[in-house]
Amino acid sequence: MTRAASSPTLLLSRSDVAAVVDPDSCIAAVEEAFLAHAQGRARGPASLGVLTEDGSFHVKAAGLQGAPGTFAAKTNANFPGNPARHGLPTIQGAVVLCDGSTGRLLAVMDSMEITVLRTAAASAVAAKYLARPESAVATLCGCGAQAAAQLRALSRILPLRRVLAFDLDPARIGALAKTLARDTDLVIEAGADLPAALRLSDIAVTCTPSHIPFLRRDDVRPGTFVAAVGADNPVKSEIEPALMAAATVVVDILDQCAAGGDLHHAIEACIMTRADVHAELADLVSGGKPGRRRADEITLFDSTGTALTDVAAATLAYERALAAGRGQPMDFSA
């Protein structure tokens, strides 16, 4: 898309982003961003995290080169207690998108939908290379805002048909089933026993704010693909270190995962080192390293969320919103 210098700066709400970005296009944009990273066509990514008593803040930034190139910086607040205590979303924030060659401000947009969509897209890209192609049954741990996007994205890549769902709030499982019934054929069932569900599953997705690992080595059967999504700072933990050590581990960004993903806890437990990580996702996308190599291999994607995917999703949202006439034009210099 040719971007005119006279194109307006857009203010995009969450509904604007949701209206113009679909799972398929986001998956394609995210895969291309990882390829750009592998080929040296990306700037960054960089990340800064700050913990508070009740949550955390992080700033993530990256750029993509090309014609035209873009740069994005996202500031997110993540406060898991918000829904129950204050009636506010867990994740709140904004993405600032700029022209990569001139620095011109292109858009300021809500980060919630960007975060949800790009995180799910990264899981889908990882599944393309790491899951068994016939995978049809999934265990889902955590039925919050990320859950529906994860399942929609994964179902674009795999013949997913049945989901055994777990959440501390049973009402969320029912709400998730109603949401997905509108646009998918997925059967969502409330799981009664996590180990039993995992014995039936080809895929396990964890997207919780847990600080205690609950996915254990002895419960995950050979051949499973695990998308570990929730642990994005040093205090969060979903995956038992022994499971990390037994799996073929692929990370989104090695430095981030070693500092704050489930990999961080395996390293702290002294049962893994950075050298034990099979690859970054960019290595698989570029063909630099293989994905799944055996049917009985446990593969695990440690996803801490990278600015590469933020800039990819934000660029897609801006260009589609501009073409569709969505968003509010703004002049921040006035």
What positions carry a catalytic annotation? 74
Residue 305: DSSP 8-state: -
Q: What angle do CA 100, 14, 105 make, to 5 degrees?
A: 25
Tally of CA atoms within 13 A in the half-sphere of 53 that contains its CB: 0
Residue 252 corresponds to which amino acid?
A: D
For the beta sheet containing 225-228, the strands, ordered from the edge strand earlier in sequence to the opposite edge, are 187-190, 162-166, 137-141, 203-206, 225-228, 299-302, 248-251, 279-280
* Cβ proximity of 50 and 56 under 8 Å: yes
Cα 263 to chain centroid distance, Å, stands at 16
Following DSSP, what letter does each residue of 205-240 receive, concatenated? EE----SS--B-GGGSPTT-EEEE-S--STT---B-
Smallest Cα–Cα separation from 262: which of 218, 217, 297, 222?
217
- Residue 254's alpha-carbon distances to 25, 91, 198, 330, in angstroms, are 26, 24, 27, 37
Of 302, 304, 316, 281, residue with least CA distance to 128: 281
- Strand 328-330 and strand 9-12: the pairing is antiparallel
Residue in 158, 128, 114 with CA at minimum distance from that of residue 250: 128
Between CA 209 and CA 215, with CA 210 as vertex, the angle to 5 degrees is 125
